Chain A
Amino acid sequence: MNTKKFLTTFYIGLLLLLLTACGSANNDTTEENQTETENKSEEQAEQSAEVKDLILSTTTSTQDSGLLDVLIPIFEEQHPYNVKPIAVGTGQALEMSVNGEADVLLTHAPASEQVLVDAGDVINYKRVMYNDFIIVGPSSDPAGIKGLEVVEAFQKVFDSSAAFASRGDDSGTHKKELGIWESLNITPSENEAYLETGQGMGNTLQLAAEKQAYLLTDRATYLAQADNLADMEIVVEGDEALLNIYHVMQVNPDKSDIINSAGAEAFVEFMISDEIQSIIEEFGKEEYGQPLFFPYSE
């Protein structure tokens, strides 16, 4: 019996501690902790409705290049929303829309996006910007693909069993790469030197540099990292097949009433506004000598 009393005392202590420990935490954390322990979930639901978070599900390239760090503060200044960017591979980003886990998406896999548009998972689908994919490889160019067309270059890498690093994570870049292999009717994994990292673009670039492998990357991430990559250079670029187009879209608000559709709509409008389009055009020019993204709204 005494153990029981002891336990009760401890739980009361725990509650008090929660209150004090989280006293310094931001308001909603504290509230959430308390209400959770006290089981006042209704009150909580009302509160989270006031917070107006906007979950932006996006790709690693927009975060790793630093573009989001520039755009989000501007958006938050103009609109009463708190943007929560979740930078994941495009595969996961798109999947988050299917379950209504995100409010708005910024991704770069047009073919997969079209599937969601057709299924009605996303609405208000707008083109925002583009940059291009490039093939980066060792300066020594062991497969001799410098300056070739993309398709020929891939074929030659495969034929010469040259090392090739793939994202392997269902991201937009990975989808693009698989599309090229598919158009050649090649199963890339038959090449023994084909590596799948399952990681983001930055990590894959570093791995490719270590292993002296070729890889398909978006230009923005490569430029942002080029200084760290020893003996690597752009070997194929400027091919029209390598255009990397980003779209913004809002998740269909019919999926759940938690979805912040007003915020999502505002974000879509924001991304295609003239003001932001010109900011995108200027982004990175100073640091890298060339823009990382090009405005491309309809």
Chain B
Amino acid sequence: MDLLLEGLLRALEMIASGDPEILEITWRTLRVSLTAVLISTFVGIPLGILFGLKRFPGRKILLVIINILMGLPPVVAGLWITILLWRSGPLGHLALLFTPTAIVMAQVLVSLPIIIGLTSSAFQQIDEKMILQIKSLGATKLQSLLILLNETRVSILAAIIAGFGRVIAEVGAAMMVGGNIRGETRILTTSIVMEVSKGNFDIAFALSFIIMTITFLITFCLTFLQQRSRKV
């Protein structure tokens, strides 16, 4: 109980005093996670729509693979990216290992399948008749796509929220490919792991409040977007 109060007070104190290191870590966490979610969203939604609406050979196999990857353990993603980025690995000459970019790559790898998978299932649920109706009313392809996107908005935002949740919670891969380097790749989750291993439970606890606060704020905004009443 004491620890809880202490941690909460410490968190408020850290935020109020504007501890530059905490601000920097929080800012980096936001930047890395949001970049990863943005990439996953802008790649994942078109692919999800494609897999949901179009029928082409190999589609089912692709969907199986995506569904498997939705459960990809972050440490596995981290390990794969590490091997890829090693100096002796295929992308070694880019010197990307232990940079924020490497963390973004790992986070895209774990969040992209979720966004593709959830988007495609939303589009698969659209009634065929509705698509016919839109066409018969003379909508252009772009117009019908916009109508369908509006129709599936709730599910698509749910996909983005799930992807964001995966990314912000991720620690194993960020530790492995980022290396938790102070001032470069240290993010909130990896600092929590480090502070716990240092025995600084109060700081770890304070950091946990900070990460929960930013998660709350972002999820709140996304949920608000999702639940906004539909304009016809």
Same complex origin of A and B: yes
State in angstroms the CA–CA spacing of A60 and B196 once bound together: 13
**Contact code string A42-76 (vs B, CB < 8 Å = 1, else 0):** 00110010010101000010011000010000000
Nearest-neighbour CB distance to chain A for B56, whole angstroms, equals: 10
Chain B residues contacting A224 (CB-CB under 8 Å) are: 198-199
Q: Which of B96, B141, B145, B198 has the most CB of A within 10 A?
A: B198
For the complex, count residues of A whose C-beta is within 8 A of B: 53
For the complex, count residues of B whose C-beta is within 8 A of A: 41
For B99, the closest partner residue in chain A by CB is A29
State in angstroms the CA–CA spacing of A64 and B42 once bound together: 40
Q: Are B98 and A55 in touch, CB under 8 angstroms?
A: yes
State in angstroms the CA–CA spacing of A36 and B85 once bound together: 13
**Contact code string A98-138 (vs B, CB < 8 Å = 1, else 0):** 01110000000000000000000000000000000000000
Chain A residues contacting B96 (CB-CB under 8 Å) are: 32
Chain A residues contacting B199 (CB-CB under 8 Å) are: 202, 205-206, 224-225, 227-229
Known interface pairs A86-B179, A256-B88; A28-B99 also in contact (CB < 8 Å): yes
For B141, the closest partner residue in chain A by CB is A2
Q: Are B101 and A33 in touch, CB under 8 angstroms?
A: yes
Cross-chain contact of A87 among B53, B95, B180, B184 (Cβ < 8 A): B180
Which of A14-22, A185-193, A273-281 contacts its partner?
Answer: A14-22
Q: Are A84 and B179 in touch, CB under 8 angstroms?
A: yes
Which of B31-39, B153-161, B205-213 contacts its partner?
Answer: B31-39
Known interface pairs A7-B46, A41-B94, A256-B87; A60-B38 also in contact (CB < 8 Å): no
Does B197 sit at the interface, judged by CB under 8 A?
A: yes
Q: Are A22 and B35 in touch, CB under 8 angstroms?
A: yes
State in angstroms the CA–CA spacing of A174 and B52 once bound together: 52
Cross-chain contact of A64 among B38, B54, B141, B197 (Cβ < 8 A): B197
Q: Are B197 and A258 in touch, CB under 8 angstroms?
A: no
Chain A residues contacting B49 (CB-CB under 8 Å) are: 3, 6
Nearest-neighbour CB distance to chain A for B190, whole angstroms, equals: 11
For B179, the closest partner residue in chain A by CB is A86
Cross-chain contact of B87 among A33, A100, A228 (Cβ < 8 A): A100
Known interface pairs A36-B94, A87-B180; A203-B196 also in contact (CB < 8 Å): yes
Cross-chain contact of A10 among B46, B101, B184 (Cβ < 8 A): B46
Q: Are B94 and A48 in touch, CB under 8 angstroms?
A: yes
Q: Are B101 and A32 in touch, CB under 8 angstroms?
A: yes
Nearest-neighbour CB distance to chain A for B41, whole angstroms, equals: 9
Known interface pairs A18-B39, A86-B179; A6-B31 also in contact (CB < 8 Å): no
**Contact code string B127-152 (vs A, CB < 8 Å = 1, else 0):** 00000000000000110010000000
Nearest-neighbour CB distance to chain A for B36, whole angstroms, equals: 10
Q: Tell me the dominant secondary structure on chain A's binding face.
A: helix
Q: Are B87 and A86 in touch, CB under 8 angstroms?
A: no
Q: Are A14 and B39 in touch, CB under 8 angstroms?
A: yes
Does A199 sit at the interface, judged by CB under 8 A?
A: yes
Does B231 sit at the interface, judged by CB under 8 A?
A: no
Nearest-neighbour CB distance to chain A for B61, whole angstroms, equals: 19
Nearest-neighbour CB distance to chain A for B39, whole angstroms, equals: 7
State in angstroms the CA–CA spacing of A25 and B103 once bound together: 13
Q: Which of B34, B180, B182 has the most CB of A within 10 A?
A: B182
Does B50 sit at the interface, judged by CB under 8 A?
A: yes
Cross-chain contact of B100 among A26, A100, A202 (Cβ < 8 A): A26
Does B181 sit at the interface, judged by CB under 8 A?
A: yes
Q: Are A202 and B198 in touch, CB under 8 angstroms?
A: yes
Q: Are A14 and B42 in touch, CB under 8 angstroms?
A: yes
Q: Are B50 and A3 in touch, CB under 8 angstroms?
A: yes
Q: Are B198 and A6 in touch, CB under 8 angstroms?
A: no
Does B230 sit at the interface, judged by CB under 8 A?
A: no
Q: Are B54 and A3 in touch, CB under 8 angstroms?
A: yes
Q: Are A29 and B197 in touch, CB under 8 angstroms?
A: no
Chain B residues contacting A202 (CB-CB under 8 Å) are: 196-199
Known interface pairs A32-B99, A36-B94; A101-B86 also in contact (CB < 8 Å): yes
What are 12 A-B interface contacts by the 8 Å CB criterion? A3-B50, A6-B49, A11-B46, A14-B39, A21-B34, A21-B38, A25-B35, A41-B94, A45-B94, A84-B184, A101-B86, A227-B199
Q: What 4 A-B pairs come out closest when comparing CB atoms?
A: A2-B141, A48-B95, A202-B197, A225-B199
Q: Other than A6-B145, A14-B42, A203-B197, give 20 A-B pairs with Cβ distance below 8 A.
A: A2-B141, A10-B43, A10-B46, A11-B42, A17-B39, A21-B38, A28-B99, A33-B101, A33-B104, A44-B93, A51-B95, A85-B179, A86-B98, A87-B180, A100-B87, A101-B97, A199-B197, A224-B198, A224-B199, A225-B199
